[in-house]
Structure 1
Amino acid sequence: MTTFLRVAGVVAALGLALSACGGGGDPLAGGGTGETGDASAPIRIGSAAFPENQLLGEIYGQALEAQGVAVEILQPIASREAYFPGLRDGSIDLVPEYTGVLLQYLEPAATEKSADEVYAALQGVIPEGLTLLERSDAENKDAVVVTQEFATANNLTTIEDLAPLCPTITFGGPPEFQERPDGIPGIEATYGCTFAGYSSLDVGGPLTVTALRDGTVQAADLFTTDPTIESNGFVALEDPLNNFAAQNVVPLVNTAKASDQVQQVLNDISSRLTTEVLIDLNGRLAADDRPNPDTVAQDWLTEQGLL
């Protein structure tokens, strides 16, 4: 019988949710069960602290467990800046990643934009000891979002249209978006858009949605697969100059844990994921009964005949 170790809850507050149970300890502390080279230990699965990424981690974990692979689900960790060091030191073995932002994290000067170009470039900069598996067709990009009322009043359909208003408005998003190359610096460089202020909120969560809805911020960073865009009647502005590169979901795994079996299971998951599937799954997470990501993952895997 295999071991499926679950670490705490799947919905975490922003900040570093780093503790783990079942002997796992701090997922960013080296020397744990996921130490580099220990292929017999459970695969320690991390995720960023937003529901979609937690759900993808659950899908990976449950699919692997169903095939006899021991896994350990860690608490979500705030952002790439926090969890990537754990991948490097082996205290985290597997994360669901997004190609474009991962490329810019590893190579800030990268200029590739299309899905194929980004994936090819990314393969060339993945650090030793990590393996990039097959990318999925599923894509979740950052988007500059405004309310319908604001868009209508100012005749906005693109970020380019927004640029003349930027000196008069406040932008909202997660703290790291203010520094990332395709975040505020990219918007400024690409569109000449310098906002009057920046409000540090959450990663596509209720703080950002509420601030946009009540006018605390006039534009915000949300994900294109976020169901709150449609449910609130928000407008995701088009990005004609391609500030945001392709963002395909892709598993990033510790090479020591990337057995043929593990690769086969995860690549099969990637082959089944599409943007439409992500939107549907995010809609399930946002349902009135607020199911946990592990429940939504189990339901989807069962529908796919993988459990």
Structure 2
Amino acid sequence: MLSARVLTAAAVAAAAALSMTACSSSDPLSGNKVVIGSANFPENVLLASIYSQALQAKGVKVTEKFDIGSREVLYGQLKDGKLTILPEYNGGLLSYLDPKSTAASSADVNAALAKDLPSSIELLNSAAAEDKDTLTVSQETAAKYNLKSIADLAPLGAQFTVGGQPEFKSRREQQFQDVYGVGFKEWKPTADTTANAIKDGTVQVGDVFTTDPRITSLGLVPLADPKNLFGAQNVTPVVYKSQANSTVTDTLNAVSAKLDTAGLLAMMKQVSVDKDDPSQVAKEWVKANGLA
């Protein structure tokens, strides 16, 4: 006959096993399963699809919840564990969590994020790829004045008209003066037509995002920003830590190691200009970079 001590131990073990089974079966994200979300604009959908394709190639079961909405909605769902993975932009996420932060370089932004994010969320490795503001000129202007950096505009700014969103002047005019000693002859609100305005000469320099496909199609030249006037906006995966195993984190870090701005720009041309399916563009990129 078994002793009471043995029977009690067996009962405890059985109860624990049942508890673990119930927990596993009721949690759709337990094991090798993840849910990937994205914001509601084409580039973020593309990035989420790259993450999805790379993870599926490693045997991870992925549920895609793309095109959800704004950061406010997405971050709340990640924080609650309803999403496992988001493609983020480190500078934008830091501004959301700490609007007063002055961190500008990639390293400083990520260090600040590491402090501001809750312990349940992990910031993985940032990619070199960035979707950020740049001062951009035409190839002709760059060649004529030997322009490579924003600093090169210092002796020329008084001759140039600069274009951008209506709020660009109020946000940046003093910064250009303070950081690079650059002042412009005129500030013209060109909104989403800035790239075209640079090409047709309406403005000589303008605020264009680094992954705008018109940089390629119109032959524009983004100027370097060595003093980080425009803060870092590196593509960076963030994960709900308890639902992301080492296969997930290693795979996403491998994606970041391969993803640069030129590659993202080329893919965005395929998606936005050529109208290729983001999922297919992502699949081709994953395969071409040895991640499949």
The TM-score, its normalising length taken from structure 2, stands at 0.68
CA distance in 1, matches of 2:204, 2:83: 37
Which of structures 1 and 2 has the bigger CA Rg?
2
CA deviation profile, 1:220-277 (whole Å, cap 9, x unmatched): 4323344422431323234354212333321012234323332122122223323443
Counterpart of 2:24 in structure 1 is none
CA distance in 1 between partners of 2:158 and 2:121 (Å) = 40
2:94 alignment partner, SS class: helix
| Paired letter, 1:44 | I
Residue in 2 aligned with 1:234?
220
Which structure 2 residues correspond to residues 125-204 of structure 1 after superposition, within 5 A?
Answer: 125-148=116-139, 158-159=149-150, 161=153, 169=161, 171-173=163-165, 178=167, 187-192=172-177, 196=187, 198-201=189-192
How many residue pairs get aligned? The number is 256
Letter in structure 1 aligned against 2:238: L
Structure 1 residue 278 corresponds to structure 2 residue 264: yes
Partner SS, residue 281 of structure 1 = helix
Q: What is the distance in 1 between the residues matched to 2:170 and 2:68?
A: 27
Matched residue, 1:30: none
Partner residue, 2:283: 298
> Residues 212, 80 of structure 1: CA spacing in aligned structure 2 closer, same or farther, 3 A cutoff?
farther
Aligned to 2:237: 251
Instruction: Tell me what 2:112 maps to.
Output: 121
Q: Structure 1 270/148 Cα, relative in aligned 2: closer, same or farther at 3 Å?
A: closer
Q: Verify the 8 A CA contact 1:49 1:76 in the aligned structure 2.
A: no
Q: Are residue 103 (structure 1) and residue 87 (structure 2) matched?
A: no
Q: Which of 232, 243, 252 pairs up with 1:266?
A: 252
Task: Provide the aligned C-alpha RMSD in A.
Answer: 3.8
User: When the two structures are superposed, what TM-score results if normalisation uses the length of structure 1?
Assistant: 0.65
The 3 A distance-change label for structure 1 pair 92 and 208 is: farther
Structure 1 pair 157–138 and aligned structure 2 pair: CA distance change class (3 A):
closer
- AA aligned opposite 2:29: A
Question: How much does 1:106 deviate?
Answer: 2.4
What's the CA shift for 1:294?
Answer: 0.8
Deviation track 1:92-122 (CA, whole Å, cap 9, x = no partner) reads 4422122233323322333333333332222
Does residue 1:39 correspond to 2:29, yes or no? yes
Q: How far is the alpha carbon of 1:63 from its aligned partner?
A: 1.9
Could you tell me which runs of 5 or more consecutive residues in structure 2 were left unpaired when the two chains were aligned: 1-26, 178-182
Give the C-alpha shift of residue 61 in structure 1: 1.2
What is the CA–CA distance in structure 2 between the aligned matches of 1:268 and 1:101, rounded to whole Å?
Answer: 22
Q: Which residue of 2 aligns with 1:57?
A: 48
Structure 1 residues 155, 225: CA separation in 2 closer, same or farther (over 3 Å shift)? same
Deviation of 1:196 after TM superposition, in Å, equals: 4.3
1:43, 1:257 within 8 Å by CA — same for their partners in 2?
no
Q: Distance in 2 between matches of 1:103 and 1:185?
A: 22
Q: Using the TM superposition, give the Cα deviation of residue 279 of structure 1 relative to its aligned residue in structure 2, in angstroms.
A: 4.2
Residues 15-58 of structure 1, C-alpha deviation per residue, up to 9 Å, x if partnerless?
xxxxxxxxxxxxxxxxxxxxxx863475032135143x322111
Residues 234 and 82 of structure 1: is their aligned pair in 2 closer, same or farther, counting only changes over 3 Å?
farther
**Could you tell me how far 1:64 is from its partner in structure 2?**
2.1
- Percent of pairs with identical residues: 36
Letter in 2 for 1:258: A
Whole-Å Cα distance in 2 between the matches of residues 305 and 269 of structure 1? 10
Deviation, structure 1 residue 167: 12
Quickly say closer, same or farther: Cα 1:49–1:184, change in 2 above 3 A.
farther
For 1:94 and 1:167, the matched residues in 2 are separated by 47
Contact 2:160 2:203 in 1 (8 A): no
CA distance in 1, matches of 2:243, 2:170: 36
- Could you say what secondary structure the match of 2:64 adopts? strand
- Give the partner amino acid of 1:270: S
Rounded to whole Å, the distance in 2 between the matches of 1:171 and 1:258 is 43
Residue 70 (1) aligns with residue 55 (2): no
What are structure 1's unaligned runs of at least 5 residues? 1-36, 202-206
Residue 268 to residue 213, structure 1, CA distance change in 2 (3 Å): same
Q: Kindly indicate whether the alpha-carbon contact (under 8 Å) linking 2:163 and 2:190 is maintained by their aligned counterparts in 1.
A: yes
Change (3 A) 1:38 1:225: same
